[in-house]
């Protein structure tokens, strides 16, 4: 027990100069400093004693975070300068470092450590923490995604972000979510490049209808891009991408969708041409309908599906969705596109095995339903009638226990009334979305 007390006293003595500085600069009162010392003493004795838990370290770290936040506010209000001699950030790092060394398998402590580094924008420290936790937990695919997103979104370093994703796939080849997140990261990057080109006026067609008012609150604020993504010989760092660089990038494979296609091809090899995985990629890419290369990527996925699983429900649904890509429910071209979409579903259902038809019916309803609720203004009466009639028809072949809450609500309503109006469909869809 004496050893535990000595250990706690040793750590407490490290804070003495800090507390003296607080008193000298009148950041805290004498009573507050006494309370801080007492609180730290309680924590240190708990940690030094036998039976300490990860929760004890987490509470100690949270207390130090709150204390440092209060110290910063006091310094700002009092106009105290030079109060950074004793960094509360360093104290929190020290507590969390001890915690993760004692309980290396506790993911809660690691996540608290990572989130604090991100909040404080301690990039170097975050890199060390991420390296340490990934060495201990290489099979946690979410950690690889977390690291890659930090570099891609906060640091603008796509090269490092890709390296994290690729290294993660070596350890987590069987994690569908990691493959999807890698593809999503690349699509987000393409969307940012496309938006930057639009703002710079490099795409004349895309500029139609875009207002150039700098004071508009709706103008998209884009992050800076990495020089290495434009010029491989450039030093790694964050730089503004100029107009000439974006013009050169327009014909580069990275901008034309080559990277998502390569990711998809590798995933198909890993998952043995699974139609379910291919449909997952199709849905993900289709959500980025403003990216110029989206149609090319979707066509590649559909071609692969039609080659490897031409008689599957996934191939039918993906082909139908492709006809609706870029066609707004209020546009003049939408009725023809809807006709082609429904024709594909009808012909597909005629050739599919009976056990696959319910799933196709459910997916068709989920594909058509958002078209009714996408705008405040309702579609043309004839289009609305076709949408409602088609959804009612495919609800009748949907599974009795559908996967989605939306279809479940629609089936329950149709079971009591036998019919559904467009307004009621939209209402049930919105209620299901609000309920999660």
CA distances from 252 to 78, 260, 288, 291 (A): 55, 14, 19, 15
pLDDT at residue number 221: 37
Q: What is the value of pTM for the model shown? A: 0.80
pLDDT at residue number 225: 40
Specify whether the backbone of 28 is left (phi greater than 0), alpha (psi in -120 to 50) or beta: beta
Report DSSP letters for 305-343, one per residue. Answer: HHHH-TTSHHHHHHHHHHHHTT--TTSTTHHHHHHHHHH
- Please indicate, yes or no, if residue 414 is contained in any of the structural domains: yes
- Please indicate, yes or no, if residue 258 is contained in any of the structural domains: no
Low-confidence ranges of the chain (pLDDT < 70): 1-2, 82-86, 201-254, 374-379, 415-419, 429, 432-436
pLDDT at residue number 232: 42
Could you give the dihedral angle defined by the CA atoms of residues 256, 258, 261 and 267, in that order, rounded to the nearest 10 degrees? Answer: -150
- Please indicate, yes or no, if residue 95 is contained in any of the structural domains: yes
What's the CA gap between 113 and 122, in Å, rounded?
11
Dihedrals φ, ψ of 328, to 5°?
-75, 145
Of 68, 103, 138, which residue sits at a domain end?
103
pLDDT at residue number 300: 96
Domain count, the chain: 2
Of 103, 127, 150, which residue sits at a domain end?
103
- Please indicate, yes or no, if residue 374 is contained in any of the structural domains: yes
- Please indicate, yes or no, if residue 11 is contained in any of the structural domains: yes
Q: What's the residue count for the chain?
A: 436
Of 12, 123, 111, 3, which is closest to residue 62 (Cα–Cα)?
A: 111
pLDDT at residue number 247: 57
pLDDT at residue number 213: 42
Of 79, 8, 84, which is closest to residue 39 (Cα–Cα)?
A: 8
Of 80, 103, 126, which residue sits at a domain end?
103
List the domain range (segments joined by +) for residue 327. Answer: 323-436
Q: At what angle do helices 422-434 and 405-417 cross, to 10 degrees?
A: 140
Take residue 172 and report the two structure tokens written for it: 């987590």
Q: What is the pLDDT of residues 381-398, one digit of tens each?
A: 788 888 888 888 888 888
pLDDT at residue number 250: 57
Task: Say which residues have a Cβ less than 8 Å from residue 95's Cβ, sequence separation at least 6.
Answer: 57, 60, 61, 64
- Please indicate, yes or no, if residue 251 is contained in any of the structural domains: no
| 413 neighbors 420 (Cβ within 8 angstroms) | yes
pLDDT at residue number 226: 44
- Please indicate, yes or no, if residue 172 is contained in any of the structural domains: no
- Please indicate, yes or no, if residue 396 is contained in any of the structural domains: yes
Element (H, E) at 225: strand 225-226
pLDDT at residue number 375: 54
pLDDT at residue number 251: 60
Of 307, 344, 338, which is closest to residue 325 (Cα–Cα)?
A: 338
């Amino acid at each position: 027990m004496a050893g535990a007390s000595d250990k706690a006293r040793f750590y407490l003595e490290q804070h003495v100069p800090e507390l003296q500085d607080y008193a000298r600069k009148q950041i805290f009162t004498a009573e507050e400093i006494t309370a801080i010392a007492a609180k730290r003493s309680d924590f240190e004795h708990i940690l030094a004693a036998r039976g300490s838990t990860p929760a004890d370290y987490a509470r100690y770290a949270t207390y130090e975070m709150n204390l440092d936040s209060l110290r910063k506010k006091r310094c700002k209000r009092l106009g105290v300068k030079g109060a950074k001699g004793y960094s509360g950030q360093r104290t929190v790092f020290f507590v969390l470092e001890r915690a993760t060394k004692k309980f290396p398998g506790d993911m809660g402590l690691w996540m608290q450590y990572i989130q604090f580094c991100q909040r404080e924008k301690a990039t170097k420290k975050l890199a060390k923490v991420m390296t340490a936790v990934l060495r201990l937990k290489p099979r946690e695919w979410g950690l690889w995604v977390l690291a890659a997103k930090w570099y891609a979104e906060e640091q603008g370093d796509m090269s490092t972000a890709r390296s994290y994703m690729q290294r993660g796939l070596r350890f987590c080849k069987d994690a569908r979510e990691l493959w999807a997140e890698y593809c999503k990261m690349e699509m987000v990057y393409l969307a940012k490049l496309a938006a930057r080109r639009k703002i710079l006026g490099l795409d004349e067609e895309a500029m139609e209808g875009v207002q150039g008012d700098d004071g508009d609150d709706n103008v998209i604020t884009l992050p800076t891009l990495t020089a290495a993504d434009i010029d491989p010989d450039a030093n790694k760092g964050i730089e503004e991408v100029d107009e000439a660089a974006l013009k050169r990038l327009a014909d580069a494979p990275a901008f034309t969708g080559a990277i998502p296609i390569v990711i998809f091809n590798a995933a198909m090899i890993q998952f043995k041409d699974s139609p379910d995985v291919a449909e997952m990629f199709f849905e993900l890419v289709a959500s980025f309908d403003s990216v110029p290369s989206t149609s090319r990527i979707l066509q590649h996925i559909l071609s692969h599906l039609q080659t490897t699983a031409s008689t599957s429900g996934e191939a039918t649904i993906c082909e139908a969705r492709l006809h609706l890509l870029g066609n707004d429910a209020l546009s003049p071209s939408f009725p023809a596109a809807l006709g082609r979409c429904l024709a594909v579903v009808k012909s597909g259902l005629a050739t599919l095995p009976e056990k696959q038809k319910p799933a196709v019916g459910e997916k068709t309803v989920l594909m058509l339903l958002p078209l009714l609720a996408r705008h405040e203004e309702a579609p043309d009466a004839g289009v609305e009638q076709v949408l409602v009639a088609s959804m009612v028809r495919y609800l009748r072949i949907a599974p009795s226990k559908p996967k989605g809450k939306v279809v479940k609500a629609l089936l329950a309503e149709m079971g009591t009334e036998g019919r559904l109006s467009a307004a009621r469909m939209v209402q049930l869809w919105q209620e299901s979305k609000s309920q999660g």
